[in-house]
Structure 1
């Protein structure tokens, strides 16, 4: 019986450990949100983007930790020599002082400077930017964290989410990098930004307005409504696609020769939003007048 209990416990422990390694939507959303900022930092400071992202994920619990939500601190850096705003949190000791920032960009920038300017981390900069394993073990050996499994955890995160692919990047999307500078005090509640048809979009949440989304993404709410061919006072429905730039005249090239067949509940406007096309152009390329009432089963050209 004792052997059975011991075996069961070991199996349960192994299962739990394996479960922790599974892909997580919150982690992926964090990566989508900050990957370009991590690449920007890599090109500026020669710190692997994979390491920066893995540390941010691990230290901030994908932006959901108390330090991240209250102080935009994504890397658990304490106050040593810090003259700015601070937050206090129990860590190795009770009520320890941690650095606080106005936004995620400041946290990422300070993390890079912290490593680049620290004597204890100097050896790391002799490693190749693609040597994420060397960096992970080097951070642990230099005392970045007290967790003896720190290097292992970083490497597991990097491999699971293929973060090492970002270490080969030579350019980044400036919109996504800039977005982390514009947003202050939002913690982990930012809308996920998607890319489609040479544009960016978010999906409206319950209670969203053009004003609230515009404030988050740093765009005039009047411009945001105009990009989406709407009145700025319109009420947004949960799940609506809201584009952040002016829509294109056609769908992507991959839709050449393909038709969209109208489904129940769809309108010309909802179809135009689905493909990131200006409404007038959707009518025009199908030879339809603006007062045409589409019917279920109609086939519409997209480019």
Structure 2
């Protein structure tokens, strides 16, 4: 579906997207990209000139882990607290996906919510992102 002017077709030259245009700044002030299908820690590291082990550490994942299409991949350390106060758990959420969504370390989410590591929240539960749940 190329546009035409006076019955002449106009062809546009397409250039590959500059990878740096994908880098966004999280509201918790951490640079990140959103992984696309087929990307790995290795391909992202090479494209953005980052150390693969740093990317794995920043995102709290193992080297060689499969990245999901749409997964947030941080280029800096996640914070101990979120910029929002709380979050209502939706279907499909777990502590890791919440951690990635808000740029907060997983172990800090557990501490803020007085939950045991490995425990998962229930749909509709409020997860504190800034302050500890009162005992």
Q: Secondary structure at the match of 1:212?
A: helix
Residues in 1 aligned to 2:25 and 2:123: alpha-carbon distance in whole angstroms: 28
Equivalent residue in structure 1 for 2:42, among 211, 215, 219? 211
Structure 1 runs of 4+ off > 6 angstroms? none
Residues in 2 aligned to 1:218 and 1:195: alpha-carbon distance in whole angstroms: 18
Q: Secondary structure at the match of 1:280?
A: helix
Residues in 1 aligned to 2:67 and 2:118: alpha-carbon distance in whole angstroms: 23
Higher helix share: 1
Partner deviation per Cα, 1:193-213 (whole Å, 9 max, x = no partner): 110112011000010000111
Partner deviation per Cα, 1:217-248 (whole Å, 9 max, x = no partner): 11111110111000110111100000001111
Using the size of structure 1 for normalisation, the TM-score is 0.37
Residues in 1 aligned to 2:34 and 2:118: alpha-carbon distance in whole angstroms: 28
For residues 156-171 of structure 1, what are the structure 2 equivalents within 5 Å?
Answer: none
CA RMSD of aligned residues (A): 1.8
Please list every run of 5 or more consecutive structure 1 residues that lacks an aligned counterpart in the other structure: 1-12, 14-60, 70-186
Partner deviation per Cα, 1:9-57 (whole Å, 9 max, x = no partner): xxxx9xxxxxxxxxxxxxxxxxxxxxxxxxxxxxxxxxxxxxxxxxxxx
Task: Please name the residue that 2:116 is paired with.
Answer: 289
Task: Please name the residue that 1:224 is paired with.
Answer: 55
Using the size of structure 2 for normalisation, the TM-score is 0.80
